Structure 1
């Protein structure tokens, strides 16, 4: 399977981000990719939530989702839209969701996944992120079929919680998508290590499309979109440059690795010890 990976520096204007996305989808299809993977928050990256509230829409009205569906159908390509900030209710004070989409070559939504683990952290004395103050966390792990593979969906901070990927591979996933907008300090320290660990534990391919660079809202993201094979070998590292790159995935590698190291097959359920009194 030939895949395309988009590394973006999304800004605060969904219309402009949607135009860039449509161009990347067309380029991926022209390059022979069966599916394109895009980063977390493809449609809007804005830490000013008052300003963001003016452009976040529901599915029917979201310009980036509409652009992705239209271009997927026009180009006849699968699109794994890393995530969008999405409104799910018009009730005042209702939280948004950070939602990932799988879009078929017919332009239809094949799967949705709402980010389960929300990033609440103090990055430095002067910078903190509280994703849960604006977003509601998801409840369900999601796998979806694409030609030749079973895709497990996740988003960014999820990568630190290995239990999610155990659930995805127990459900048959042999390809894991981990779109992200990692900060530079955490990316430098942990990004590659975490991605390779998830691939090795699962005996699965990992595709991690990332945001990269200095964004309009003032934040900086790490980049280094990666593809990792089931043995933990890095097949693609896009460094910090935005744009598109391609990678070939041979899914015979999944069975080869899982036969050599049958960690998925050897998983056991166990009980915790009784609490000490």
Structure 2
């Protein structure tokens, strides 16, 4: 199969996992009713919680997580692929992982992916984030070979590391995924151009479900969930930060066609790097 309908669900997750799980289920059902065979939700679908103690109380292990449990049930009931963009999962070592889940139409867990790149930044206007203080980074790229497409996984800040997406494209991914909770400040500056660049560079579709709006914990996210085709064209967008569902028909043959037109993956060459110092002429041969 080369054609399927994809949905990117835009949410405004709060601090209550149970309430977010109910909204997650409602929106997944709505997307399926609109014909989506693949449904993606944003980063931190389960909850967005800044306070350390509240965060520790909100999240649990993978086998007990209500979002993962609901996704498994819904995928089987609706006969669709459900991609939980991410939720916080308590690891066996007591640390948290920012983890994505993909469930198949039979309810089976196909793949998980732990966010590799931690959002440790100091932005303008005093906005500062240290994701590594709460989460343990992953260390593996993941590509899932599905009947509908070969799917590459990423989460939010991973978007700024093109080598991850290049590795997935070289592994045959025709659809790249970037569920996110971009801040408003960084989203306004870079969200659209980075997503379009990753699509163009790799000749692949990009599906990016986003968090949007002012959250209960005081965080503000950009929204603007997007689906971008392999030529870099935005084919579907939630042009705001309110909860929404955006849908588009994905034709994986468009990825093959983009590779024929711009065969940069095939034309890439290895090279070495050299830094050459420009020594002022008057100092050449001077005694040291």
With the shorter chain as reference, the TM-score category is over 0.9
> Residues 18 and 67 of structure 1 are in contact (CA less than 8 Å); yes or no, is this contact kept in structure 2?
yes
TM-score w.r.t. the length of structure 1 is 0.95
Task: Give the drift of 1:8.
Answer: 0.3
TM-score w.r.t. the length of structure 2 is 0.92
Which whole-Å CA distance do the structure 2 matches of 1:210 and 1:264 have between them?
A: 28
Task: Give the drift of 1:108.
Answer: 1.5
Which whole-Å CA distance do the structure 2 matches of 1:271 and 1:259 have between them?
A: 27
Structure 1: runs of 5 or more not aligned: none
Q: For residue 58 of structure 2, give the secondary structure of its aligned residue in structure 1.
A: coil
> Residues 25 and 72 of structure 1 are in contact (CA less than 8 Å); yes or no, is this contact kept in structure 2?
no
1:273 is aligned to: 274
Q: For residue 182 of structure 1, give the secondary structure of its aligned residue in structure 2.
A: coil
**1:53 and 2:33 aligned:** no
1:182 is aligned to: 182
Which whole-Å CA distance do the structure 1 matches of 2:59 and 2:74 have between them?
A: 21
1:7 is aligned to: 10
Which whole-Å CA distance do the structure 2 matches of 1:244 and 1:210 have between them?
A: 10
**1:81 and 2:81 aligned:** no
> Residues 113 and 138 of structure 2 are in contact (CA less than 8 Å); yes or no, is this contact kept in structure 1?
yes
> Residues 225 and 246 of structure 2 are in contact (CA less than 8 Å); yes or no, is this contact kept in structure 1?
no
Aligned residues between the structures: 273
1:135 is aligned to: 135
Task: Give the drift of 1:67.
Answer: 1.1
Q: For residue 41 of structure 1, give the secondary structure of its aligned residue in structure 2.
A: coil
Deviates more, 1:199-208 or 1:117-126: 117-126
Structure 2: runs of 5 or more not aligned: 278-288
Which whole-Å CA distance do the structure 1 matches of 2:237 and 2:157 have between them?
A: 19
Q: Going by fraction, where is helix more abundant, 1 or 2?
A: 2
1:19 is aligned to: 22
Q: Whose radius of gyration is greater, 1 or 2? A: 2
> Residues 19 and 67 of structure 1 are in contact (CA less than 8 Å); yes or no, is this contact kept in structure 2?
no
Task: Give the drift of 1:269.
Answer: 2.3
